[in-house]
Amino acid sequence: MLFYAGIDEAGYGPMLGPLCVGTALFQVEEGDASDGAPDLWALLESAVCRRPTDRKRRIAIDDSKTLKGARGSKAHPLRHLERGVLAFVQELSGDLPEDDEALLRILGAELAEEPWYANTVSLPLSGEPGEHRIAASMLGRTLEEAGVRLCQLGCEVIEPPQINAAALGRERKSELNLSAALRLAEGVRQACPDAHPRVVIDRQGGRTSYREHLAHAWPDAGIRILGETPKISRYRIDTAGSLLTVSFETESEQNHLPVALASMVAKWVRELHMIRLNAFFASRMPELKPTAGYVQDGRRFMQEIDPLVRSLELDEGRLVRRI
């Protein structure tokens, strides 16, 4: 038996909205920590695929960047992200969450008490609830037949004030991202106290050595370097006999379904935050064009809402990232 998890982020580059780090943990009956990672796309091929469009109406699971549709298209641009995340959330929780607050509770994603996050978003955004329940049912049957169980989905949300506080302390944003990923990895270890889980994390920039960061995250653990190459850095962490293998890999979303799903969870959580943010300002400035929060368009957005920020006395330091 293998416990197999993936961790990935979304929203690293924007100047508006949170940085989100997602995680997905599976139990695979046929496998152990000494084997190569199982191909969950192959094991679950009756219900999942990589392509957004599929004749069999399977659920697309892939790097979140490939699943977001173009803005302005007839179909909702977030439909593939939503369908995938909601199918797995229903498998975990037992039913379709009716709004984003219920979804965020399931994922352990704390919603900050900011004025621009005031309005609840009803779910689903695209398609009928019955369609999503059918997809979840298909997924559930396939997981059972394949001997695979979804154990955990989660997301840590890092808001601009946390990022800005880190900047004042001369801490890099990459350190915040890595620290969140390692906290989620510790959550996987705690969820599997009598097992030896394997966690795959998307490579953090060009870094190849992570031992120092692992020692900081697990100060009382023995840490063994299993390999450090340009593509994979792998470590064995031993905490009083509780083993955890952590790998940092390039292109991990293409090679590991749990990482792709974690990427989708992180992206979906961030998108829901941005829907709330855009709705808050658009309700007061109906002509305002929404933003995804990336730097160039984020600057346009901030320039246009400046009179509103001033009149409402909003704290721009809680809205805009400094790094």
Q: Residues 303-315: pLDDT tens digits? A: 999 999 999 999 9
pLDDT at 163: 94
Q: How far is the C-alpha of 217 from the C-alpha of 182, rounded, in Å?
A: 7
Mean per-residue pLDDT of the chain: 94
Is 240 a residue whose pLDDT tops 90? Answer: no
For 30, residues 6+ apart whose C-beta sits below 8 A from its C-beta are 38, 147
> CA–CA distance from 291 to each of 242, 275, 282, 296 (Å)?
45, 9, 11, 10
Band of the pLDDT at 30, cuts 50, 70, 90? Answer: confident
The residue that leads in pLDDT, 18 or 1, is 18
- Summarize the confidence of residues 52-67 as an average pLDDT: 91
Domain contains 247 = no
Domain contains 150 = yes
**CB 36 within 8 Å of CB 29:** no
| Residues spanned by the domain of 68 | 2-171+183-192+258-318
Domain contains 141 = yes
pLDDT over 90, % of the chain: 85
Domain contains 248 = no
Is 69 a residue whose pLDDT tops 80? Answer: no
CATH number (domain holding residue 61): 3.30.420
Band of the pLDDT at 273, cuts 50, 70, 90? Answer: very high
Band of the pLDDT at 35, cuts 50, 70, 90? Answer: low
Structural domains in the chain (count) = 1
Domain contains 30 = yes
pLDDT over 70, % of the chain: 97
- Summarize the confidence of residues 25-46 as an average pLDDT: 84
Domain contains 250 = no
3-state secondary structure of 71: coil
- Summarize the confidence of residues 39-50 as an average pLDDT: 96
pLDDT at 72: 66
What predicted TM-score, i.e. pTM, was given to this entire model? 0.95
Amino acid identity, position 298: G
The residue that leads in pLDDT, 101 or 69, is 101
Is 33 a residue whose pLDDT tops 60? Answer: no
Q: How far is the C-alpha of 228 from the C-alpha of 237, rounded, in Å?
A: 15
pLDDT digits (tens, 9 = 90+) for 80-91: 999 999 999 999
Domain contains 207 = no
pLDDT at 68: 83
Is 195 a residue whose pLDDT tops 90? Answer: yes
First to last CA, the chain: 42
C-alpha of 185 from chain center: 13
What 107-112 contacts at long range (C-beta under 8 Å, 24+ apart), as own/partner pairs, is: 107/22, 107/153, 107/154, 107/155, 107/265, 107/269, 108/154, 108/155, 108/156, 109/20, 109/154, 109/155, 109/156, 109/157, 109/269, 110/157, 111/157, 111/273, 112/18, 112/157, 112/159
Is 34 a residue whose pLDDT tops 60? Answer: no
Angle at 159 between CA 198 and CA 83, to 5 degrees: 60
Domain contains 295 = yes
> CA–CA distance from 258 to each of 21, 145, 221, 264 (Å)?
13, 18, 25, 10
Is 319 a residue whose pLDDT tops 60? Answer: yes
Which of these ranges, 1-10, 26-35, 274-283, has the smallest mean pLDDT? 26-35
Amino acid identity, position 192: C
